[in-house]
Structure 1
Amino acid sequence: MFGIMFKQIFITLICFSFLFLATACQAEKEVIMPDKPLEIALNMTAKDLYDANPEYKAFQEADAQPMGVTFQGYDFPTNNMGKVIFHYSDGSFNIDQVVTVLAMDKVTSEQRGLNKITVDFFFDKTDNGISDADAYQKMMFFFKELQDKGWTYAHSNSAPRLTAKDSFTFATTDEGSELYLDYSYPLTFKEWMQLNDLQLWRLIYGTEIYMDIRINRQSDPETGNRHYLISLDIFDELELIRQIIPNNYDESLTKEYSKLYGGLPEARLFFETKAIKMGLKIQQNQPDYTLPLVLKETGIDTSKFVSIDPYKITYKEFMKRSESGEDMTPYYENQPTAKPEITSQARGHCLAEQPCPKSGYWFTLAKADSRAYFKQDDTMPDYPNNNWGEVIWQFEGKKG
């Protein structure tokens, strides 16, 4: 999952550089920008998208890709940027200085809906850039607007349970991770400048729409001008699951997710152990949210997720005892009501560079496309310097 995120950020960085190189060429073929904002919504079809925005035909782009996917959208020159209004179930928000709108068309689906839309835009209107202070004010205003409209922080089942303030400490400390920063925390300007130049926030609206907000903060090496490219990835639950599941899956995405579900308590413990070492307090009563599609198709209610108690055992000790065959049930939280769910979560696992305990198919969240067959006593591979942390192999089954 994290590898995918960083790949997206890397692609954004390349696009960011390309936009500046392309400005001069685009200026030669300037087209008048319509006054009406371009209207987009999640899960509209490509035809709906283009029919709703005939004024933007000159900026229309489509790129057919292998595996039955077509990227639909619009491309605007940096000297004549567009305006977008994004509609969702009972609300909308506007975006200015838009340079690209990219949507993935689910050609293989009967609905053919656009289940992921990416909007890239600048905070600055000209090549002169924008001050960090002005960019900070614009982002805080945008965050406040989203909060007022009901968007909340989307923490996953693997995320550490922290207060919004502590999530900032965790995100800006070397031992932590910038992937779990709660956008509702009111950053000061000083804290804004402490953020990674490639920072990400994940939001959710209700139980239906997710949005990743990524900033790409860069300085022009020749002029020293500051530029902020903001990317919004707006997607549905199915796309959320697709980001987690390895590409070479055999069953439906929700069923594949149910196989991963058992390893998530260990992932959360990994991060919460780090947080406790930083002196941060784990909010053990912090609720998780339901994934409706997963609940409907697998019966797993992710809002009833059972975590491992980080105050009873550390991640390293848990893995050591678990590998030795000890019953780890007492270390899970909410014992009286949680045991049935614990049983469903407890699955075989093995640390990297350890002998495989049983033959079958294994995968690790530390590497995309990691699913592979190992024989008993094979040495499980390690992937140092990955974006996840310690490599934990999870047993999927004996069938391919």
Structure 2
Amino acid sequence: MGPRHGKELPVKGPVLSAEFHSTHTILHTDGLLPPTINTLGKCMTLRFDIHGNSAYEEVTRNDILTTIRIAATSVACEANDPDGTRAPVHVMSTSPQRRSKPHSRIRQVGDTAVEIPTVHMRDIRKLDKMFSTSNEPSITVRQQAILVNCDPVRAVIMRDCCFVFLPDGTDSLIAHLKSNFKLHIADASAFEFAALEAILATICCIFSTQCKQVIPLGRSALEKMTKDESMSELESLRSIKNSMSVLESQLGGMRRLLMTLLENEADLHMMYLTKLCEDPKLAQDLFYIDTEDVESILELYLQEIFSSQTRVALMAQNIVNTESIVMLKLDSKRNFLLSVDLSLTLLGTLIAMPTFIVGAFGMNLNSHIQDTEYVFWVVFALCGLFILVGYVVVVKYLKQQGINMSWTY
């Protein structure tokens, strides 16, 4: 493991120097992403420099860890006291002496020491999808590194470079990353904020694209369902609803992440990697750093995420409402069929009772009733009248009990 609580261990493993970059950069002849090959624990990454230029590199987790530790060690050495011993890297919150921040939120923090944690292999390992125990997005701040684990972007941001781990089939992701890095690199006050904003912009763009793909499909399926064109749309709507649930879960995770990060006073100050490198003494009291820049970036993309989440939530609610309407229609059809079935059953019962009388007259026993004139028509009329009156009486009784026997649908 790496250095822990101010103890410096000797750095082992290769260093990502200029020579390493020149020998390990793999570019396809047509400019596209080469196939992802995992040899000796290496994974394909896209490395951005402070000018926004990108190059493909195969690196190991140990390479990334070593690079971060060297950057953190160089900053810590500059903050050493005159006798050559390292000063502890921690933050003391001095609220009475804290500089006022008119444009950023003021949080109440007690007089406690906030240590800047060093990066460890377990932090880098969490960026690997194979070792990730949860899909919950996270942004972890360490000494001279910001670890971003927000599916589908997993990156390590440093003060002078950024490594983005590339999964398979990420051509569109790469295009978004390259354009966003070029777009935000010129206006950012520090490279780490340009990289963070480019990554957040890429994630928001991906979520927005997914919303534009899923929402029209859901709306079309809802229109077909309301028109009763085909009940097979229920299966297609179920698939769309599942996609929306996944998207809504991802958006909710990103929103929780940004809100938690905005409320974490220590992490906001520790994200100023460039300032801490230029003036290592700021590590003794990070709360002198104004966090307006990083807060404005996080708040901007928090609103963007909230907007996309609202769109998906409204569409999901429309699907739920439409499903309720469809179920009501199905219940109405079922009740109609039950009414028809009950009516026919009642008629069958009423007809069966006179049939008993007809059967009695049809027996071979001589009753002499057949000799009586017009007796056939009298019996037939009485049987028909019994059926008609019985049906009307039963229907009226059931209606009084709240059971509608109407065949109107």
Tell me if TM exceeds 0.5: no
The higher-RCO structure (CA 8 Å, 6+ apart) is 2
Q: Which has the higher strand share?
A: 1
- Counting helix residues as a fraction of each chain, which structure ranks higher? 2
Largest Rg, 1 or 2: 2
Instruction: Return the TM-score normalized by structure 2.
Output: 0.24
TM-score, normalising length: structure 1: 0.25
